[in-house]
Structure 1
Amino acid sequence: MTKKFYQLSARERLEAMDLTPSLTAFYRERQSDEMPNLIENYFADFTLPEGLLRHLVVDGRSYQVPMVTEEPSVVAAANNGARLVGQAGGFQSHQTSQSLLGGQILFQDVAIDELLAYVSEQREAIFEAAKLAKPSMVERGDGLKDVQIRSLAGRRASLDLTVQTGEAMGANAVNTILEAVKAVFQPFSKNIVAAILTNAGHDALVTVTTQMPVSLVGGLAVAKAIVSLSAFGKVDPDRAVTENKGIFNGLSAVVLATGNDYRAVEAAGHAYAGSTGRYQSLSTWKLDDTGEFLLGSLTMPVNIGRLGGAIAAMPMAQRNLELLGAPSLGALKKVIVATGLANNLAALKAVSGPGIQAGHMRMQARTLAIQVGAVGDEVLKVANGLAAEGAVDQNHAKKILGEIRKNDA
């Protein structure tokens, strides 16, 4: 019996793809024993570079933070921002993030009063169904914690479940509970559209702040420029999108390095950025009343895990958590958000001061050197040559590389 493509081994898939011998050999060299079962139709590993945020101080503790990203300047910016904040004592957290994940049972063409009455009558049955679906969660103190009904436009409604998931992100657990609870609503079965978790993270907000003397960022004029630029992110969605992207540059790099779902975190963050009815920057920078201190804060939902899922299957994710010092789930969330705020500070300081292009181009020069064929020590030599000439483009890179190789011959 012929196997379907998804049933083939990784090596068999390559053979079935009818590639050139060189491309087949390229992908074969990039197959591993660790990744095949993580995704469908696996045939090779795609690797990204991992850099280190050397000292990130949060609540008085210094962390070595792994960051996985393809963008050249992100790790440098994170280190720059963390260094400035570190000189002022580091970041502080101001609330304990809950390990709570939401789920929804969605109803249409439903009388909200009837549904509200039914939920009130069946509340005990709802919690019992959730308990039977995941008894181990309840035994360790987790599981379903709350049930609420929300009325939506067009005779629609959402039954919102709040589930405490413990050390795991808990997506599969929440979906299992939802399916069990859905059975309680048999009288409304024709009205149910779906039962699915939500990544909104309303109950998983994390806040980090910093207070630093304006002298650390270059004086009062620089601090005022940072505050002014931050204010644009509150009134102009176009500016807010770019500022939030800069926050996620650092934040998502840590989420990815720890084996978590950066897409879910980003989606929740962007939704929260628009929760007032107007899309805004997630961060806020302002001066204190004396004008002597620059105050920064970042609040957003973070639903991640420390156990289970891809983390359990990815040795790098496990080792990266070890590198971080095996933090609690709450501490890990704060580290992630603090990294985002560090990147944000570095970006605002650069944009409001000398401009972000200079730093970006220094990092881009290295990437360009590799693109034109530089290897080993040649990469830095080409990058330095491009910086000296002030022209970071492929033609200049090729010219400099040629001159280097001619002189070394």
Structure 2
Amino acid sequence: MGYIRSRSVEGNTGSADALSIADGRRYEEEETVTVNSRIPGFKDSSVQQRRDLVAERTGLDANIIAALDPIHGLGVEQADHMIENVIGIMGIPVGIATNFTVDGLDYLVPMATEEPSVVAAASNAARMARQHGGFHTSNSGSVMQAQIQLLDAPDPEAARLRLLEARDEIIDLANAQDPTLVKFGGGASDLTVRVLPTRTGTHVIAHLVVDVRDAMGANAVNTMAEAIAPRLADIAGGRSLLRILTNKADHRIVRVRAVFDKDLLGGGEVVNNIVHASAMAEADPYRAATHNKGIMNGITAAVLASGNDTRAVEAGCHSHAVGADGRYTALSHFEKNADGHLSGTLEVPMAVGLVGGATKVHPVAQAAVKILGVSTATELAAIIVAVGLAQNLGACRALAAEGIQRGHMSLHARTVAATAGATSSELDLVVRRLIDDRSIRVEHAEKVLAELRSGN
């Protein structure tokens, strides 16, 4: 089924407030677009047909989708303005995950990844969740924190209290650095202080709490930290050292839940096996590391496609996987509900934005955001976390039902066949032989390809 939602007119891909922060303008005009993320046969279409379908479903002009073509995407000249010492560009495949319904709206989700099966698994899991309303999310807001490290305070505990007494002064000083952010409802809102014993002595650590709205927040938070550090050092009677945000974004949590249909999963035994696999990941850090990697396969691909900082998101998620007891555990949980269906949940920090960074510079990231049609960073974060849960479910189902190799290696066989030199007309024949022979290796693909070309 399709859903009606508001999408900004061409050129307005962020929220009104976000764009006001970015360039001082406010957009009022909107158009209504029907988005249906269910596209049967999408994987069997050609690349151009898929582009046409995405343009049709999202109501975007074909020229916007064309940015996904390397010929029209990021050029060397643009890249040279993004990082230092540029000599070229490395391409990453961008696929579209279909079937996603998140908080009652349908989305086509761009994912940038080199790993086979990721996009297919996420799309298939989203299809299973559609039967029961898709993915439902909640969040704790768009709050980040800066840390200011204070050294050489002669009385650390008393320094902590003096800093807290100056809380309002410090917040006002921080907000003076970004009046535009404050104007649109963001800005510094709190100051907390910790006394931290370390191997080099006792440090006083101040945390500035900042609502960054539709930005990822690093620039705004770091600017505030730099500005308040001298005053904090003066009050503490010491000196400041580190002044930077923390990627442990535990004030910016996104939660997602979904019910995956037991019949589409393969029956009650598969549901039970996934629950057992989930229980192992919760109890065993060795399994949890691979379990969480499956989550990040989806999250990182969606974050990268949108031009956001994959390393910051990954650091936040993995730090969140360490519980209060210091043990690394699973980020997601799977349970069997009263009706025998599989209930999945995931809760992670998600520091992504629509303002600044590569999201506003990289043409492919801009196209990806337009395909999503999101209007706030909170909406973007919700979709990304839904993709993480879907991808995790896909991997767990493969393990519980048929083993990871069957599904994963079937897709991997295409990469191996292409590496061996198979053309588009030869690809399917070579892949079929590799799978039938149960030998998915480049040297075997080269042998198969030679036989095919010789007529044997």
**What is the TM-score normalised by the length of structure 1?**
0.88
Find 1:104's aligned residue among 125, 147, 164. Answer: 147
- How far apart are 1:291 and its partner, in Å? 5.4
The residue type equivalent to 1:156 in the other structure is: H
The residue type equivalent to 1:58 in the other structure is: V
> In structure 2, the residue corresponding to 1:278 is in which secondary structure?
coil
The answer to whether the 8 A contact 1:97-1:330 is kept is no
The answer to whether the 8 A contact 1:125-1:184 is kept is no
Q: What corresponds to 1:384 in structure 2? A: 432
Find 1:71's aligned residue among 110, 115, 118. Answer: 115
Q: CA RMSD in A?
A: 1.7
Find 1:174's aligned residue among 212, 216, 221. Answer: 221
Distance 1:117 1:89 in 2: 49
The answer to whether the 8 A contact 1:31-1:43 is kept is no
The residue type equivalent to 1:61 in the other structure is: L
The residue type equivalent to 2:146 in the other structure is: G
Distance 2:233 2:412 in 1: 59
Find 1:283's aligned residue among 332, 342, 353. Answer: 332
> In structure 1, the residue corresponding to 2:232 is in which secondary structure?
helix
Q: What corresponds to 1:316 in structure 2? A: 364
The answer to whether the 8 A contact 2:259-2:341 is kept is yes
Distance 1:135 1:31 in 2: 35
| Residues 64-121 of structure 1 deviation map (CA, whole Å, 9 limit, x = unaligned) | 000000001111111111111122221111x234111110001234333222232133
Q: What corresponds to 2:242 in structure 1? A: 194
Distance 1:246 1:204 in 2: 21
Q: What corresponds to 2:353 in structure 1? A: 305
Count of equivalent residues: 377
Task: Report sequence identity in percent.
Answer: 39
Find 1:223's aligned residue among 268, 271, 274. Answer: 271
Structure 1 unmatched ranges of 5 or more? 1-29
- How far apart are 1:228 and its partner, in Å? 0.3
The residue type equivalent to 1:175 in the other structure is: N
The residue type equivalent to 2:121 in the other structure is: A
The residue type equivalent to 2:143 in the other structure is: L
Distance 1:342 1:293 in 2: 15
> In structure 2, the residue corresponding to 1:304 is in which secondary structure?
coil
| Residues 303-342 of structure 1 deviation map (CA, whole Å, 9 limit, x = unaligned) | 0101211111111111111101234221111110010110
The answer to whether the 8 A contact 1:55-1:65 is kept is no
Distance 1:353 1:141 in 2: 48
The answer to whether the 8 A contact 2:128-2:261 is kept is no
Distance 1:316 1:227 in 2: 38
The answer to whether the 8 A contact 2:295-2:389 is kept is yes
Distance 2:140 2:308 in 1: 16
Distance 2:439 2:112 in 1: 28
Find 2:79's aligned residue among 35, 42, 47. Answer: 35
- Compared CA separation, residues 375 and 227, structure 1 to 2 (3 A): same
Q: What corresponds to 1:80 in structure 2? A: 124
Structure 2 unmatched ranges of 5 or more? 1-73
Find 1:236's aligned residue among 284, 290, 298. Answer: 284
1:8-407 equivalences under 5 Å are 32-93=76-137, 95-110=138-153, 111-154=155-198, 155-187=202-234, 188=236, 190-276=238-324, 277-288=326-337, 290=338, 292-407=340-455
Q: What corresponds to 1:25 in structure 2? A: none
Distance 2:141 2:385 in 1: 15
| Residues 32-54 of structure 1 deviation map (CA, whole Å, 9 limit, x = unaligned) | 23211110111111110001101
Distance 2:206 2:315 in 1: 21
| Residues 346-366 of structure 1 deviation map (CA, whole Å, 9 limit, x = unaligned) | 111110111010111111111
Structure 1 runs (4+) deviating above 6 angstroms are none
The answer to whether the 8 A contact 1:54-1:79 is kept is yes
> In structure 2, the residue corresponding to 1:222 is in which secondary structure?
helix
Distance 2:233 2:253 in 1: 34
Distance 1:242 1:376 in 2: 33
- How far apart are 1:31 and its partner, in Å? 5.3
The residue type equivalent to 1:169 in the other structure is: M
The residue type equivalent to 2:109 in the other structure is: V
- Compared CA separation, residues 299 and 33, structure 1 to 2 (3 A): same
> In structure 2, the residue corresponding to 1:194 is in which secondary structure?
strand
